[in-house]
Amino acid sequence: MPSYDEVEVGTELPERTFPITRADLVRYCGASGDFNIIHWNERIAKAVGLPDVIAHGMYTMAVAGRTVTDWAGDPGALQEYTVRFSRPVVVPDDDGGAVLSVRGTVEDKREDGSVVVGLVATVNDGKVLTNAKVVVRLR
């Protein structure tokens, strides 16, 4: 676990990649209670103008957040997490799915022992989350 003292503004978190498949979305439907049909039915997704089935924004947010909680060690140390959903994550019906890449950089150190981490989350080099920030307390 990184300590507050050794982290500096500009410290980069380990870059992560997360494959997102159709099976992941079905599991997330069940766990979250969000069964919106555009997350599992290609026919309907296309009928409402989407290129294909898309991931739940909240699923993308949850997965991207692991970049910070895995780094910090204690997920209970996360105090704030904010994102803007800038474009949908399209999930093709194949074995590889979409691949979410997430980079994190410490943008601020607060006097209360927390740090602000800015996240950049992309799929195929397109940003899927913008203004993504996590406030996490370090020891």
Partner 1 sequence: MPVNREFIGRQYPASATYEVGREHIRRFAQAIGDENPAYTDPEAARALGHPDVIAPPTFLTVLNFRFALEGPVADPALGLDYSLVVHGEQSFELHRPVRAGDVLSSVARVDDIKDAGRNELIVTVTEVTAADGEKVATLRGTIVSRGTAARREA
Among 16, 24, 102, 114, binds partner 1 (CB under 8 A): 24
Residue 75 touches partner 1, criterion: CB under 8 A: yes
Residue 96 touches partner 1, criterion: CB under 8 A: no
* Residue 34 beta carbon to partner 1: minimum distance, rounded to whole angstroms: 5
Residue 69 tokens, joined:
């909680």
Q: Which residues contact 122 (CB under 8 A, 6 or more apart)?
A: 100, 101, 102, 128
Residue 31 touches partner 1, criterion: CB under 8 A: yes
Residue 34 touches partner 1, criterion: CB under 8 A: yes
* Residue 35 beta carbon to partner 1: minimum distance, rounded to whole angstroms: 8
The phi, psi pair for 122, rounded to 5°, reads -130, 155
E strand or H helix at 132: strand 126-137
Nearer to partner 1, 8 or 114 (CB): 114
* Residue 91 beta carbon to partner 1: minimum distance, rounded to whole angstroms: 14
3 state DSSP class of 66:
helix
* Residue 56 beta carbon to partner 1: minimum distance, rounded to whole angstroms: 8
The phi, psi pair for 130, rounded to 5°, reads -125, 165
Classify residue 38 by its DSSP letter: G
Annotate each residue in 109-128 with x if it binds partner 1 (CB under 8 A) or - if it does not, as one string: --------------------
DSSP labels, 11-43: PBPPPEEEEE-HHHHHHHHHHH----GGGT-HH
Binding site for partner 1 (CB under 8 A): 18, 24, 27-28, 30-34, 48, 57-59, 61-63, 65-66, 69-70, 73-76, 78-85, 88, 131
